[in-house]
Structure formats: C-alpha cells, structure tokens
Chains A and B, each alone.
Chain A
Amino acid sequence: MDLTSTIVLIISALLLLLSFLKDRKKTLASLKVALNVAKRLLPSIAAIILLVGIIVGFVPPAWVARSIGTQSGALGVVIATFIGAVLFIPAIIAFPLAKSFMDMGAGTMATAAFISTLTMVGFVFLPLEIKELGKRFALTRNAMSLIAAVIIAIIVGVIL
C-alpha cells in the first residue's frame, strides 16, 4: 500500500474514532450515509473499472495519442472538452478514466479539459438545472464552464 492510501486510511480512522467518542448515534448515521453513497456509486464504479480495462486493453494507444495526444494540440483539447461535456461521470470515477487515457498518451492539457467538463458540464443535468435555476443561469453557467475548462487546461498545460 502506498503513502497516500495509508495517510487517508489513518485520517478517516481517526475521524471515525473521534466522532464515535463524541456521539455514537451520529457516527452510526454517518456510516449509513457512507454505505448509501457506496450503494449508489458501486454500479458506476464497477462499470468504469471494466470500461477502463476495455479501453486500455483494446483501444489502440495510437488512436488516443493521435486524437487527444500531446501532438494533437488545440484540436485535441477541444475534442476532450466536448467528450467530457457530453458524458457525465462523477468526479470520483472520472479520475481513473482520465488516468487510463493519460497512460495511453493523451496530453496533459486534454486530460485536464476532460476532467473539468466531465464534472462541471453535464448535458444530462441541463434540463434539471434549467428547471431549478432558470434558463439564463443554467445556460450561461454551462457555456462559461466549457470556456473555463479550456482555460484551466491551458494553465495546467503551461504549469506542467
């Protein structure tokens, strides 16, 4: 087990212990929340794990490298941005997927754009967002998030 996992496990165990000492009922409730979230997430996580296997195993790395690789430049970033905006995947399972693309040669910029739109722009959620926050707010937020994703990608690309 690596360092990050160990630290996270220790922190969560300590917090759990602290919570348990303070209030048993609340601790139990929080564990139920965790279990509930786990139940909701498990099908997607299982599917993503298999999907990552399929992608890494069967999609030729040359494809990925050509379409969203470092050499693909601006077009690659745009492609990744829009793929991320159409697909809607929660952040927690977006990272393994993004990493598999990166391992196959996707550029840093494209990967950053992909993650940003994957989580911030959800066309799946657009009707709901319009219903709750109004057309003007929902549309401007989504459109601006698309632009923001590209800018974030460029910054990440410049930094790294």
Chain B
Amino acid sequence: MSGETVAEHPLSEKSWRKKIRWDWVFLLATIPAFVVLVILFRGNKGSKATHVSWEYFKEMAIILPAVLVIMGLVTVWVEKDLIVRFLGEGSGMKGIVLSFILGSIPMGPLYIAFPLAYVLLKKGARVANIVIFLSAWACIKLPIEIVEFQFMGWKFALARYLATLVVVVVMSLAVEKLFFPHGWAAKGVEEEYVGIPSEKVTEEEIVEEIEED
C-alpha cells in the first residue's frame, strides 16, 4: 500500500530529489510513450495495447473503490494503540500469529510501518515478530489479496499466500537467531540507529492527518 515515494515521508529531509513525485513522473513518461507507440503501430499491436489497457482499466474501476472503502473503514475503526499493545506483549506462537494478523490489517503505506516497527522494537517486541509484521504489511494484506484473487486467480493467490506465510515465519526466526541473538537493542545495534525520536513518529496518524484537511 505504499504507492508513494520516499518524498512524502514527513521525517525525511527535503532535498530536491525527495520532493519529486515519482508516480507523476512515471505517469507523465508513460502517457506520451503509449500515445506515440499506438499511433506508430496503428495496426494489430496498437489496437492490442489499447484493448488490454481498457480491459485492465475496467477491472480496476470495478474492484478498486470497494477495496478502498474497506481499507478506509478499517483504518478508522481499528486503533493504532491496539497494534502497539498486542505486538509489544506478544511472544511465542501467540506473538507470531498476532504479528501476522496485525500486519495484515490495512493501516496505511509501508513507511508508516517502519516508525511503528521502531516503536515496537524499542518497547521490547521480538525481532522475529517485527520481521513478520513488516512482511505481512508489505505483501499479504487482506484487502490487497482481493486484488490478487481477481487478477491471478484463486489457485495462485492461495498458493502464494500460504507459501509466504510459512516462509516468512521461518525467515523471521532465522533473522532473529542468526543476526539478533541478544535482541534488537543489544550493544552495537542501537548505535546504528540515527533516526528521529519515536515521539515524533507516533503522532503521525493518518486519520488525524486526514481529519485536518
């Protein structure tokens, strides 16, 4: 769900490179490329391209509003405190399951998850849980699965979902055991942290931001 570039992250310094809206650059590069190609190859290839784009547009136009509405509802109704509380306390199997569930709840773009993960780690959450949390947040979020279901078919979506579930758990435990045997805050690890204090981070509530509009 993190369609925006690093540019929009409120914590990053505002250099000119970060101010650029890459999605718009991308779009403004694609439109002329599409138009020129379709005009140049007016025959078979051009009409195939327009046809395919149109089909994708129709499919998106039907499914996207519904997905967005569900995401909006969850964002407003499920409080962020809930996530911090449960993940921080979570340990063992319960923690793993909770990390998965909480990561799957759509709460906004991925860059919201990084500061949240920092807060959780700082509060003593397991490294494994946070890796699971971030992975779930990135690629197996529930409303997004609807889109995968739609485009890739239920067989592929289900197979990838289950495979990701298993592999991510194993991976997170491996990361913890191999690289963080004494926890995230162990000596030498925390010194690498050069970010901004977590207080600034938790203020960053999407809902609040939006209500201010």
Contact = CB atoms under 8 A, between A and B. Distances in A.
Interface stretch (A64-72, A73-81, A95-103): A95-103
Contacts, number: 279
Given A37-B68, A56-B49, A159-B159, A120 B3 contact: no
A148 B125 CA distance: 22
B211 A156 contact: no
B24 interface: yes
Chain A binding surface SS class = helix
Chain B binding surface SS class = helix
A38 B23 CA distance: 13
A133 B211 CA distance: 29
Interface residues of A, number: 81
Given A33-B75, A33-B206, A53-B56, 9 more contacts: A8-B146, A19-B73, A27-B76, A32-B72, A90-B2, A115-B160, A141-B134, A144-B175, A155-B159
Interface of A: 1, 4-5, 8-9, 11-13, 15-16, 19, 26-27, 29-38, 40-41, 43-47, 49-54, 56-58, 90-93, 95-96, 98-100, 102, 108, 111-112, 115-116, 119-120, 122, 124-125, 127-129, 131-137, 140-141, 144-145, 147-148, 151-152, 155-156, 159-160
